[in-house]
Structure 1
Amino acid sequence: MDEVKVVVAHSERATLRVGDVFLKVDADQERLDVEVEAMALAPVPTPEVLWRKPPVLAIAAAEGTALGRLGEPSAASPAAWAAAGAAIRTLHDAPLPPWPGRHGRGLEEFAAELDDECERLVTNDVLPADLVARNHQIAQAALQPRTPVFAHGDLQIAHVFIDSADKVTAIIDWSEAGQGDALFDLATLTLGYEKHLGDVIAGYGTDVDLDAIRGWWALRSLVVVRWLVEHGFDPFAPGCEVDVLKSLM
């Protein structure tokens, strides 16, 4: 019998691996709906959906290896990072999906969340006030209106798979996909990997607003620190969110 491996588990959802099958358990059926529909629409490689029986979605394992994992050095070549950038551009050039996506929210709502999280981080002595204040200022560059694209919405480095020929074989975890900011996807992929941003942009094939990328690095890190701690993750680990905030000072 294949071993059951817990890939990730917290109060909102869990992902298990059994052999070459991933089982995603999510009480939020809308998230599973988005994941299935987004993978069907996305013009980039995605895992095969094997079956769905709410609250479980079964997906085939992606071929290749992940581009990296936050907090660890990436062994991927510059060509692999550029290939990831090219795949993201293909996605962003595709027709918009018919739903807004979590990161297609209004800028006022995003700004309110940022302000609230920054206040909590300081009030509860989670992070130093000067670190929070400086990154709150940097984050403002992200909060600008931009034309929406077909965005992945959670394009972490571990969600992009590459083969030995530096070709993208799969992009996984589409539950946050929808209409959103292209720069949010690029920033999420390169969070903690600033040295690879140039490779990604080269593959993406167009100039991007680097201040906005830095803004999304700051904003994403600020708003997830408490959530990560409360769900058993460590944003203080080397190379992770708190180090990202310190690097932006």
Structure 2
Amino acid sequence: MTHIYVIVVFVSLHVAGAWASGLTPETVPEWAVWAMVVAPYMVLGVLGALFVSWCTGRLDRRGDARAVLWAHRAFTVSRLLALVWHVLTVFVLGVLGLVRRWTGDLVLVDELLAAVPALALLLWTYRLAHPVEDRVRAAVMMRDLDEGRPVYAFPGSWRYVVSAVRNNLAIMALPLVLILGWAEVLDRIVTATGLAENAGEDSLVVYLAPGAQIAGALVIFALIPPLMVRVWDTVSIPPGELRHELESLARSHGVRVRDFLIWRTGGAMLNGAVIGLTPWLRY
């Protein structure tokens, strides 16, 4: 759900184009349009907080495990409603045009600012999930101790949000924003040089522009692994039996990698990943 959310948020802003000013009449005051943009997100946030408070209270009083399921369903519904509202703010209320009145049509800046309300709601749902997950973690702690499993301290609320952003949001948001930014830069170059006006159907520019976009996207995908291993909380596996076994496994399958890393999520998620298109940028 998070990945789809991020894709819809940024792609809708990127393709807004002629719809950047929306369908709102110019007679409507700017402050009123901003109020219409922000108010539904605030309502969703408050309703979500009230419902999660009820769910955690039910967990504390009755130990009703169904409250966990209800809370997560509420997060999903909140995100879906926020996504629908974001699309409406882009194409009907013209939130991108509102931002550009203050910033101008800058590369990525206006899109990122216009995405703030929708992304803030997403981060708020992460924050609301913290007390629910905290109670679930406490409930299974004794079982983990009895079975000899490692027990990790559960992070505080905002540290939990930061961890969710690093581990869930960034893997889609980072490459997508870079690719959309490259496409916008390329479009500016073509427009500034006048190539778009002089390009005929048989012009080389017609084929070079899409080729440059694809080439740029491939370069971005190639460079994402070294960026992501820094966004994620990772450290290199030190020399020892584990690293030796991993290196032997990679050699036996003919897979070359730059390094083997430990992805430290504090026991919050089961994880394992192989990322990288080329051996010297593969982890």
Structure with the larger strand share: 1
TM-score by length of 2: 0.25
Please say which structure displays the higher CA radius of gyration. 2
TM-score by length of 1: 0.27
Where relative contact order (Cα < 8 A, 6+ residues apart) is larger, the structure is 1
